[in-house]
Chain A
């Protein structure tokens, strides 16, 4: 290394061997990468303790369905979650401004996910007559042809939604 390369400017910028000005330009050009490196170090260190960049969220079964995360829903069922048990869905996923407690099948209808609904039915979700009416009325507000097809197989025709409270309305 030459003497020039060892010199430092008053701003702590090393002389590149081509003069301080080239060193300053080089330093400025390198800045975005240095920022990314610092962020990356933070993300990686956080990852070691489970809080890195976008770690997997803890979700309920209904939340997994509401966020189209069928694999997470299946994992929760595999480790013992009841596909018929209502659970909390946080604000912003199916509703705006409040949390709701709903059944996974209702979350599937709300998220307009026929594949999720089919999966829940395959893994033990039960839809009785009362629940079917709720789902069909909910589907009327969240139109989805795939979901409707599944529900129509169980009860074709237009549902009577008089007096039916939708799953996402269940708040005080």
Chain B
């Protein structure tokens, strides 16, 4: 068996039940139902596209509604349920993320398989990955941006082709049209070019930058602003604050809070702390009761981040010209993490740093591979210690990755129960008055209710302590 085949096999075996767990989550009420109703009610795609530019004063996400409309039409033409169609798209995005990760790291040698076997659980076990699997709006835009960003990275590893600028622009345009974090696709392109990755030519960078400029101009022309402090709840220290509380506390002097958020975003990627701006460690310090999940996440992340730091110190001493292809990939991965953290300026959310999480796994792969390559020069005792270190780190990350199933099933349970509150017979006054909206709401609700999901009451009681923060 070739190394690449074994890596694909490992990835496939782990991804299959993961895809099933993703598929089990029903369409959500919050964020999803409204977009579905809007997508269905418009007479044409063109009118929806034109009007969607005015839906919000802080967001510009025309493809959010457009793709929802397309998926509704796909459901109608295939006679599939809405849940099947929307959840299948989410599964497809999950599979694409895994495939693109495999393409990005290119497993060729047996040592690559070993590094992949440690890095793959990092990819799916990091808290930012589950953020791409849980929420859906009704299609998870952060997963879409992740796919586009990784695709650009994969392109940058190839020999340049004349059509690469067009592909980069299409990916960037799509990502920007679903969510503002789509700008990370441009960031990846710039980082690849700056690090000297050969597939990212000057023409690709210029085209992508012009496109981003046009996007910003359109936003400006439409009077669309970015949400500032108070646009979303976020944590500070050991407390989570509502938007109003944040405005009151930091609105007048926001710089300190912005710095806290940017540093917190990077720390979250490197150490799995803070989460949504809240340091559970601070809470645990106060209460004297550190949760097992906190310790597992912290130890695994610190170990992997230390490895990444070791690689940076030992391999990036010379100038850019002296870097190998793999070093350039490593630099891009680290740069993307840092820039992604900066997007947390107004508030910290796991979803915002989800692209950074993908590149954290890329950096981990390179660092682990680098460490394994040093084994022949090391003494037996040192080799044994490295084996122990890697096995422990891999074990912790694998445990985190296995917990995804529990977290996703829990999410499926909660999401399904949310639908019970809709169209209650004793609250007819709250029912939609528009017949089309009522019909869609009823159809999705009936679909969701008829899909049984696992109840946490029948899952292991210890799982909460080890997998849920």
Most buried by B among A31, A47, A52: A31
Assess whether A30 is in contact with B114, with CB atoms less than 8 Å apart: yes
Contact of A22 among B372, B401, B402, B449 (CB under 8 A): B372
Assess whether B14 is in contact with A18, with CB atoms less than 8 Å apart: no
Residue of B whose beta carbon sits closest to that of A37: B13
Residue of B whose beta carbon sits closest to that of A92: B457
**Neighbouring A residues of B394 by C-beta, 8 Å:** 29-33
Assess whether A15 is in contact with B420, with CB atoms less than 8 Å apart: no
In Å, the complex CA distance between A120 and B223 comes to 48
Interface of chain B: mostly helix, strand, loop or mixed: helix
Contact of A36 among B114, B398, B406, B453 (CB under 8 A): B398
In Å, the complex CA distance between A87 and B199 comes to 66
Most buried by A among B13, B121, B391, B453: B13
Assess whether B452 is in contact with A75, with CB atoms less than 8 Å apart: yes
Contact of B113 among A26, A31, A43 (CB under 8 A): A26
In Å, the complex CA distance between A23 and B424 comes to 61
**Neighbouring A residues of B375 by C-beta, 8 Å:** 18-19, 21-22, 25
In Å, the complex CA distance between A118 and B420 comes to 11
Which residues of chain B in 265-286 are interfacial with respect to chain A, using CB atoms and an 8 Å cutoff?
A: none
Please tell me if A95 contacts chain B, counting CB pairs below 8 Å. Answer: no
Residue of A whose beta carbon sits closest to that of B457: A67
Say how far A64's CB is from chain B's closest CB, in angstroms: 8
In Å, the complex CA distance between A90 and B296 comes to 34
Assess whether B420 is in contact with A70, with CB atoms less than 8 Å apart: yes
In Å, the complex CA distance between A134 and B387 comes to 63
Binary interface profile of A, 10-44, with partner B (CB < 8 Å = 1, else 0)?
00001111110111111111111111111111011
Contact of B405 among A15, A30, A53 (CB under 8 A): A53
**Neighbouring B residues of A5 by C-beta, 8 Å:** 109-110
Residue of B whose beta carbon sits closest to that of A1: B2
Most buried by B among A23, A40, A47: A40
Please tell me if A148 contacts chain B, counting CB pairs below 8 Å. Answer: no
**Neighbouring B residues of A166 by C-beta, 8 Å:** none
In Å, the complex CA distance between A52 and B16 comes to 12
Binary interface profile of B, 136-172, with partner A (CB < 8 Å = 1, else 0)?
0000000000000000000000000000000000000
Most buried by B among A28, A29, A44, A64: A29
Say how far A75's CB is from chain B's closest CB, in angstroms: 5
Please tell me if A56 contacts chain B, counting CB pairs below 8 Å. Answer: yes
In Å, the complex CA distance between A47 and B19 comes to 12
**Neighbouring A residues of B387 by C-beta, 8 Å:** 24-25, 28-29
* Chain A interface extent, by class: 35 or more
Please tell me if B64 contacts chain A, counting CB pairs below 8 Å. Answer: no
Please tell me if A96 contacts chain B, counting CB pairs below 8 Å. Answer: no
Please tell me if A59 contacts chain B, counting CB pairs below 8 Å. Answer: yes
Given contacts A29-B372, A57-B455, contact A69 B417 (CB under 8 A): yes
**Neighbouring B residues of A123 by C-beta, 8 Å:** 425
Please tell me if A121 contacts chain B, counting CB pairs below 8 Å. Answer: yes
Please tell me if A72 contacts chain B, counting CB pairs below 8 Å. Answer: yes
Say how far A73's CB is from chain B's closest CB, in angstroms: 8
Assess whether A39 is in contact with B416, with CB atoms less than 8 Å apart: no
Please tell me if A71 contacts chain B, counting CB pairs below 8 Å. Answer: yes
**Neighbouring A residues of B17 by C-beta, 8 Å:** 40, 43-44, 47, 52-53
**Neighbouring A residues of B457 by C-beta, 8 Å:** 66-69, 93
Which residues of chain B in 414-453 are interfacial with respect to chain A, using CB atoms and an 8 Å cutoff?
A: 416-417, 419-421, 424-427, 448-450, 452-453
Please tell me if B458 contacts chain A, counting CB pairs below 8 Å. Answer: yes
Most buried by A among B375, B402, B459: B375
Apart from A54-B406, A67-B457, what are 18 other A-B pairs with CB-CB below 8 Å? A1-B2, A5-B109, A25-B387, A28-B390, A31-B394, A33-B121, A36-B401, A44-B16, A44-B17, A47-B17, A53-B17, A59-B455, A71-B413, A71-B416, A71-B448, A74-B420, A75-B452, A78-B450
Interface residues, chain A, with chain B CB atoms under 8 Å away: 1, 5, 14-19, 21-41, 43-44, 47, 52-57, 59, 64, 66-72, 74-75, 78, 93, 115, 118-119, 121-123
The 8 closest A-B pairs by CB, nearest first: A26-B114, A30-B117, A29-B390, A67-B457, A33-B117, A56-B452, A32-B398, A22-B375
5 A-B interface contacts by CB (under 8 A) = A21-B380, A22-B375, A25-B114, A29-B118, A30-B118
